[in-house]
Amino acid sequence: MNSIFSDRISDVPKSFIREILKVAVDEEVISFAGGLPNRDLFPVEALKMATEIVFEKTGPAALQYSNSEGSVELRKFISDRYNKKFSLDIPIENILITSGSQQGLDLLGKTFLNEGDDIIIEEPGYLGAIQAFSVYKSRFNPVKVHDDGMDIIALKNVFPGRSPKLIYTVPNFQNPSGISYSEENRNHVADVLKNKKIILIEDDPYGDLRYTGQPKSSFRQILPDKTIMLGSFSKTVVPGFRLGWIVAPNEIYEKLLIAKQASDLHTNQFAQCVMAEYLAMGNFDEHIALIKEVYNKQREAMVNSIKKHLPENISFTHPEGGMFLWITLPDNISSMKLFDIAIKNKVAFVPGNPFYIGKTETNTLRLNFSNVDEATIEVGIKRLGLAIKELVILG
């Protein structure tokens, strides 16, 4: 290439959502586009108190350079929680604190992917992961997800021809579709993978936000030797602190740590100390319960509004948790065209395209319900219904 830039950066899609959010800044636009948690639920007072304690108790040490692995207290909390939730015994030496889960994805790409290496992703799939892995010029093998999880036949079909190093999954309340893998589906996925040389990434930012149904197993329980877990405090506490983590076995951890050092030395030490103090206060579960109560109502408001205001020939997912649901329009309707009309009608969403590899036209779209109150959701979905009607008439 004649460009001064690296080949890799030329291949990375610019964040479509961030571009869309720029269109949606108009205050009159009701936005279902972002992936923002509801800031009215942030534990501001508790974090303020935690901050005061950190200044009092830790002082300058909270402001100094620190180790690349991350805060021991924070990792201890995460370890204990895995134990409580899944009876998993995760030593803190296998937990690496990252600058948000997005950095976890980047570090995994850095550590595993050579140019052209195959990776399985969900279709539709999380676009932050697509972005992160694109940087390392891997070859994507998208496998469809349905209401109950991964398409097992499609998953099996990847293997005769290719030897993917990684499979990236969001088994709980997936971004973008809101679907979850059933217990049965998880076991089927594990059956397909168990004798193969592949690592499964279980990205679980929404796992704590379950509004209905039974909690499911972690892949770490089903495929312990092959599973890397990603976690985040962005959806349960605050995203602005950029605090996530990776759980990986020793040999992989060692490499991830080198990648972490080379990437940013270590994660913000002050934020780690404040988060650890906040969690030590012991109200985390209570706080999650509050978030769940509110998001659940918003989810129900959105589902009810869809039933009321959108035409019957669309279909939609009914997530058991998380922050998103997914709409499939009739085959011939472009969600990109709908987007333009919707914006004029003062409602925003994310068209499906960026969640696929190489598709410029889709009839799908993602709606976020965590960041809009119930009354506004109804108004917004009504506007969306009008936009769809308008588009159908325009033809």
**Footprint on residues 237-276 left by its own copies (CB under 8 A):** 238-242, 255, 257-259, 261-271
To the nearest whole angstrom, how small is the minimum distance from the Cβ of residue 282 to its own copies?
A: 20
To the nearest whole angstrom, how small is the minimum distance from the Cβ of residue 303 to its own copies?
A: 25
Containing 299, the helix (H) or strand (E) segment is helix 284-309
Contact criterion met (CB below 8 Å) for 316 and 306: yes
> What character string, x for contact with its own copies (CB under 8 A) and - otherwise, covers 307-346?
----------------------------------------
Q: Please state, in angstroms and rounded to a whole number, the distance separating the CA atoms of residues 207 and 241.
A: 19
Contacting range for its own copies; rule: CB under 8 A; set: 44-52, 148-156, 323-331, 338-346: 44-52
Q: Which is nearer to its own copies, 166 or 384 (CB)?
A: 166
Q: Which is nearer to its own copies, 217 or 268 (CB)?
A: 268
Q: Interface residues for its own copies in 175-234 (CB under 8 A)?
A: 197, 199, 234
Site membership for its own copies, residue 136 (CB under 8 A) = yes
To the nearest whole angstrom, how small is the minimum distance from the Cβ of residue 236 to its own copies?
A: 13
3-state helix, strand, coil in the chain (%, to 5): 45, 15, 40
Contact criterion met (CB below 8 Å) for 33 and 350: yes
Q: Please state, in angstroms and rounded to a whole number, the distance separating the CA atoms of residues 255 and 274.
A: 28
The count of chain residues that interact with its own copies, using the rule CB under 8 A, is 76
To the nearest whole angstrom, how small is the minimum distance from the Cβ of residue 241 to its own copies?
A: 6
Q: Which is nearer to its own copies, 135 or 357 (CB)?
A: 135
- Of 29, 30, 32, 34, the residue at the interface with its own copies (CB under 8 A) is 34
CA atoms within 13 A on the CB side of 6: 8
Site membership for its own copies, residue 51 (CB under 8 A) = yes
Site membership for its own copies, residue 65 (CB under 8 A) = yes
To the nearest whole angstrom, how small is the minimum distance from the Cβ of residue 23 to its own copies?
A: 14
Backbone angles phi, psi at 169, to 5 degrees: -130, 150
Q: Please state, in angstroms and rounded to a whole number, the distance separating the CA atoms of residues 240 and 237.
A: 9
Instruction: Please state at what angle helix 269-280 crosses helix 72-86, rounded to 10 degrees.
Output: 50
Q: Which is nearer to its own copies, 137 or 382 (CB)?
A: 137
- Of 70, 124, 125, 128, the residue at the interface with its own copies (CB under 8 A) is 128
Q: Interface residues for its own copies in 104-123 (CB under 8 A)?
A: 106, 110-114, 117
Q: Which is nearer to its own copies, 92 or 257 (CB)?
A: 257
Q: Interface residues for its own copies in 84-103 (CB under 8 A)?
A: 98-100, 102-103
CA 375, 377, 379: angle at the middle one, nearest 5? Answer: 75
Contacting range for its own copies; rule: CB under 8 A; set: 61-69, 203-211, 357-365, 375-383: 61-69
Q: Please state, in angstroms and rounded to a whole number, the distance separating the CA atoms of residues 197 and 167.
A: 11
Q: Which of 264, 9, 262, 268 shows the shortest CA–CA distance to 111?
A: 262
Locate the DSSP E strands across the chain.
30-31, 95-99, 118-123, 139-146, 149-150, 166-169, 199-203, 227-232, 243-247, 315-316, 324-328, 347-348, 350-351, 364-368
Cα torsion 140, 159, 113, 223 to 10°: value is: 110
To the nearest whole angstrom, how small is the minimum distance from the Cβ of residue 148 to its own copies?
A: 30
Q: For residue 242, count other CB atoms closer than 10 A to its CB.
A: 18
To the nearest whole angstrom, how small is the minimum distance from the Cβ of residue 107 to its own copies?
A: 9
Site membership for its own copies, residue 9 (CB under 8 A) = yes
Contacting range for its own copies; rule: CB under 8 A; set: 53-61, 143-151, 172-180, 328-336: 53-61
**Under the phi-then-psi rule, with left for phi > 0, alpha for psi from -120 to 50, and beta for the rest, what region is 80?**
alpha
To the nearest whole angstrom, how small is the minimum distance from the Cβ of residue 230 to its own copies?
A: 13
Contact criterion met (CB below 8 Å) for 35 and 161: no
